[in-house]
Amino acid sequence: MTSSIKFGTSGWRGLIARDFTFENVRLATQGIALWLEGELADSQSAIHGRKPVVILGYDTRFLGREFSLAAAEVLTHLGLSPLLCDRDTPTPVIAHNIRVRGAIGGINMTASHNPAEWQGLKFSTHNGAPATPEVTKQIEARIAQLQSDNWSIQSAVVGTFECPTFDPKPAYFRQIRKLVDFATIKKAKRKLAVELMYGTGREYLDTLLADAGAKLTVFHDEPDPLFGGHHPEPNAEGIAEGSKFVCSGKV
């Protein structure tokens, strides 16, 4: 059963299995793909003439990779070239790789700080930024027309579609190391607590700090679709354990 798909800040979100279904993900992706197809054909567009690469990624929520593969299948059917991150990936990393690889856009399955029962689809344009309301209104119009036409696709069994993958970490690390003075961090010889909140940040923030010589105590560095029973948000509740550790004077 399809429902109205509306893009808010940074994308479209819904409750998993009620609103955020594979059928709706395919539908939303087809709307995005049609918009990208139009831009590729427009000589005035910033992506005109580019290779039709679209970066795909996902966070640690339920079925993130499977939703991404469903999107990849739709993009492929329309002649675009999806490229999937090889594991759950932070949003800024996906954004950077859209830019550095000269992709025409990106689709990231994430519901940001929303509770675990939510999932989302974030569409970013070629500059790595979230699509503007001007763009998402055009995509919504295409989706509405697809719904009116009862559009569907003959899809593979969920999770079985094969999509090329890549490791987005090296390009991101190169950029971060240009921007951050890790030599100063190394000289400071700090003891630090790192709260990763069961999310995509593991082996990113902690690796960068450890490589810089910081002595780390890491909390919740394993993926958990339920985020330990908390909202995946760095508020007082979300960082309570790490905060208590710091206040105890152990770091």
For residues 194-205, give the mean pLDDT. Answer: 95
The tens digit of pLDDT for each residue in 34-83 reads 999 999 999 999 999 999 999 999 999 999 999 999 999 999 999 999 99
Helices 133-148, 22-41: axis angle to 10 degrees equals: 120
Q: Quick check: 3 pLDDT over 70?
A: no
Q: Write out the two tokens for 197.
A: 């909140």
Catalytic residue selected from 3, 45, 81, 112: 112
Helical spans, DSSP H, in 50-179: 64-77, 91-100, 133-148, 169-179
Query: Which among 16, 221, 205, 234 has a CA at the least distance from the CA of 111?
Result: 16
Contacts of 63 (CB under 8 A, 6+ apart): 16, 119
CATH number of 180-247: 3.40.120.10
Q: What pLDDT does 2 receive?
A: 55
Question: What's the whole-model pTM score?
Answer: 0.94
For residues 153-174, give the mean pLDDT. Answer: 97
Helices then strands (H, E): number in the chain? 8, 8
- Domain covering 12-167, topology: Alpha-D-Glucose-1,6-Bisphosphate; Chain A, domain 3 (3.40.120)
Q: What pLDDT does 238 receive?
A: 84
Q: What percent of the chain has pLDDT over 90?
A: 87
Q: What pLDDT does 231 receive?
A: 87
Q: Quick check: 1 pLDDT over 80?
A: no
**Residue 112 annotated among the catalytic residues of the structure:** yes
CATH 3.40.120.10-classified regions of the chain: 12-167, 180-247
